Amino acid sequence: MLAHRSTAAAAVLGAALALTLPLAPAHAQFGKILKKAAEKVVVDKAVDKAAEKVGGGNDSTAATAGTTTTPAANTGAAPARGGRRAAPAPAVAAATGTTEELISKAIAYDAAFVAAFNNVLDTDPRFASFKAARTTYDKCYAKDAAYQKAVNKYGRLSEQARLDDNMDAYAKWADSLNAVTQARLKNAPAGCQVPELSSELATAARQAAEKAAAAKSGTSESALAGFTERVGGYLALSTPAERQKAVASGAYTAADAAALDKNRAALQAFMARSGSEMTGAEPDPKALAAYHADMERYETAQATYAKCTEAANAGANMPQMPPGMQAQMMNTKPPTEAQMAAAERYGKLAEAANNRGDRAKAMAYVDSAQKAVGIQPPKNGAEQQQYAKDVMAAHKKSQAAMKKCGVPPEAPIKPAYVR
């Protein structure tokens, strides 16, 4: 934690030296820096404690071998699909018919397969421990998703308040963000464990499901193999231009392309399960498709936002701290948590005094806040004054540019069972 306090001290010192001047609402800027520094100390401490509790894996049983983890925070990585191919089924005559008829057969088979697979998991006593693990995961995911939504909400609100220079609202939402972040770290620091069937049980469940699905739908994966390959080729065409080119080349007729596009979501779900080893805990295909689409939009928005904020910061031309002030910062010891708390209390008193119009009292509280964290009055008043003016001018310029960028985009929340 020493490094965290050093960072906080640097932020407090740099701000306090500039804010002792009667140039702008010093109390607000000082309170803002103290608030962010204190939050960093608290959050980092919570992260450190949570990290100490995390370590080592869970012993897996025959029903849950191969357990993987869904991270607690969104990272934006696309989940892998597919897996090891199951044992080949006996040879069956290839399914025939028009493209629309084959699409109907594939969708009917997939629906029957999913229903049969889930029925095996629910009724066969061999999967009892897996069912229990899946129930535990569902509860964990629901709780973690709620935390993530709250983190997104309070992060967005606090950032908007910061852009609006509304420090009361910023403090309120920042406190809420800090509270929900700590609660999340306490309740699920390692994320939620996605249960997976052992290879033996996965094979048994798939074989039973394939047999039941074939009996109900009148077809099978082997019979649909040729059609499946054709569907996969078309679904791999990700843009309308690519699909139009495929039709123009004669690879697909316009009618076939229309039928494939119409049933794209259902066929993608069928393709994701076809020939892959089912783990018993797969994400909903529609939710997964929506997640991928949201992720693409998010990545585009994030790149635009990053470019905007980079330009805003570069255009501000933030001044370099004078050598005398830098030397003073280097000689300042990192404040303790008690010192940080005292400085924050003085900052709030300074803000209240300023709101009453008592400028002298406000500046006295600012001085007390500086002394609480070990900051001594500057020796070079003229140098400090010029630096403070330059900082305030650069800050205003940057703030105006940042408002045009808006708040950062929110990363989509991964659907259940995405690894």
For the segment 79-90, what is each residue's pLDDT rounded down to a tens digit?
333 333 444 444
pLDDT at 265 > cutoff 80: yes
pLDDT at 243 > cutoff 80: yes
Question: Nearest to residue 288, comparing CAs of 413, 415, 195?
Answer: 415
419 pLDDT band (50/70/90 cuts)?
A: confident
Note the pLDDT of residue 329.
64
Note the pLDDT of residue 368.
85
Note the pLDDT of residue 331.
64
pTM: 0.55
Note the pLDDT of residue 59.
36
**How is the chain split into domains, by residue range?**
2-53+323-397, 68-282
Rg (Cα) of the chain, in Å, rounded?
A: 30
Note the pLDDT of residue 67.
39
Cα angle for residues 51, 142, 285 (degrees, 5° grid): 110
CA distance 338 to 8: 13
94, 225 Cβ separation under 8 angstroms: yes
Note the pLDDT of residue 18.
39
276, 85 Cβ separation under 8 angstroms: yes
Region 359-368 average pLDDT: 80
CA distance 101 to 52: 58
Note the pLDDT of residue 98.
92
Note the pLDDT of residue 379.
58
376 pLDDT band (50/70/90 cuts)?
A: low
CA distance 70 to 395: 40
For the segment 171-204, what is each residue's pLDDT rounded down to a tens digit?
899 899 999 988 888 876 677 889 989 889 999 9
CA distance 278 to 83: 8
401 pLDDT band (50/70/90 cuts)?
A: confident
Phi first, then psi, for residue 387 (nearest 5°) are -65, -45
Helix locations, 167-284, DSSP H: 167-187, 199-217, 225-235, 240-248, 254-262, 264-273
pLDDT at 299 > cutoff 80: yes
Average pLDDT over the chain, rounded to whole?
A: 76
361 pLDDT band (50/70/90 cuts)?
A: confident
pLDDT at 75 > cutoff 80: no
For the segment 130-177, what is each residue's pLDDT rounded down to a tens digit?
999 999 999 999 999 999 999 999 999 998 988 888 888 888 998 999
Region 18-36 average pLDDT: 40
Note the pLDDT of residue 49.
41
301 pLDDT band (50/70/90 cuts)?
A: very high
For the segment 303-332, what is each residue's pLDDT rounded down to a tens digit?
999 999 888 877 777 777 777 777 766 666
Strand 192-194 to strand 68-70: parallel, antiparallel, or no bridges (unpaired)? antiparallel
Percent of the chain with pLDDT over 70: 74
Region 86-104 average pLDDT: 73
Task: Tell me which H or E stretch contains 70.
Answer: strand 68-70
Note the pLDDT of residue 380.
55
92 pLDDT band (50/70/90 cuts)?
A: low
Note the pLDDT of residue 247.
94
CA distance 7 to 218: 68
Q: Which of 77-91, 164-178, 223-237, 397-411 has the lowest mean pLDDT?
A: 77-91
Question: Nearest to residue 12, comparing CAs of 38, 42, 46?
Answer: 38
